[in-house]
Amino acid sequence: MKYEWRRCEIKKELFCGQRYLLYVGLFYCICCMAIASVIGIKGTRIASAGYGQGEKYSTVEKNSEVYTDKKAQIQGMYTLPIETSGQRMVSYEMIQKERIIELSEEDYQNLLKIVESEAGGEDIEGKMLVANVVINRVKSTLFPNNVTDVIFQKEQGVSQFSPTSDGRIYQVSASEDTINAVNRALLGENNAKGALYFAARDYADPMRMQWFDTHLTFLFKHGGHEFFY
């Protein structure tokens, strides 16, 4: 009788132990799922930005990787072109490291507009060269140290960039090529050979072109623009 009682006690202990392990396992699974959910929420950011004339697109940044089918706006500052075929992944840390100047959202929008208004009819290389000149000025001690002040700078009452005086800068919307060109320039692609000036000789004031020719060093011509240092 004593032996039977002891066997029942052992069975009872085994059953309690198994139930305890089951509860522990369920608690562990719930904790893992909760942690994974929190990490997923923190690691994913949805951003949307305007494109062209009112078109909208969105991007997902997850675990320091940017996924997009069109363009990704980084920190609300500038967009990064992504190939639509094959969907490319770009490291956010890499973008931060490769950006060659600091700029605000206002700076970025003004850079897009000045490139569009100055080089809207140029190829993507010509657009990028105009962006390069603005960036070169920002980096030069001879000019203001931010994009907006460079674009709207005046010398003796004369605007450095004519679209700021005739109002064209306020009337344009950046094309896809312009956005692409500006992004590439901001990430360091620069074929301007140090140019700080450019002019469209066919449309420029003759007196102004004479000043360019006598005071500056001609570097090269691309499309309708001549570039100087």
pLDDT class of 34 with cuts at 50, 70, 90 = low
Whether residue 91 is contained in a domain is answered as yes
Provide the domain limits for residue 82: 44-98
Q: Is 60 exceeded by the pLDDT of residue 78? A: no
Q: Do 54 and 74 sit in the same domain of this protein?
A: yes
Identity at 28, one-letter amino acid code: Y
Query: What's the pLDDT at 24?
Result: 61
Instruction: Mark which of 73, 98, 123 sits at the end of a domain.
Output: 98
pLDDT for 65 equals 42
138 and 159 part of one domain: yes
The single-letter DSSP state of residue 219 is E
Residues 76 and 182 in one domain: no
CATH number at residue 171: 1.10.10.2520
Confidence at 98, pLDDT banded by 50, 70, 90: confident
Residue 87, pLDDT above cutoff 50: no
- Average pLDDT of span 214-219: 97
Higher pLDDT among residues 22 and 5, named by residue: 22
Question: Count of alpha carbons within 13 Å of 50, Cβ hemisphere only?
Answer: 9
Residue 92 contacts residue 64 (beta carbons within 8 Å): yes
**Last residue of some domain: 98, 117, 133?**
98
| pLDDT one-digit tens code per residue, 45-73 | 333 333 333 333 334 343 444 434 334 44
* 212-227 mean pLDDT: 97
CB-based contacts of 172: which residues, under 8 Å, 6+ apart? 113, 116, 117, 120, 163
Whether 148 and 57 map to the same domain: the answer is no
DSSP code for 168? G
Q: Are residues 58 and 152 in the same domain?
A: no
Q: Which residue has the higher pLDDT, 30 or 69?
A: 30
**Helix, strand, coil abundance in the chain, percent, nearest 5:** 50, 20, 30
Amino acid at site 151: I
DSSP structure class, residue 204: S
CA distance 65 to 221: 39
Same domain, 112 and 58: no
Coil/strand/helix, residue 213: helix
> What is the CA 54 to chain-centroid distance, rounded?
18
Question: Residues 106-121: what's their mean pLDDT?
Answer: 97
pTM of the model: 0.61
Query: Quick check: 108 pLDDT over 90?
Result: yes
E-only strand ranges, the chain: 44-51, 55-62, 65-67, 71-74, 78-81, 90-91, 154-155, 158-159, 197-199, 218-222, 225-228
pLDDT, tens digit (0-9, with 9 covering 90-100), for 133-179 = 999 999 999 999 999 999 999 988 899 999 999 999 999 999 999 99
Average pLDDT in the 91-99 region?
A: 51
| Residues 114-130, mean pLDDT to the nearest whole number | 97
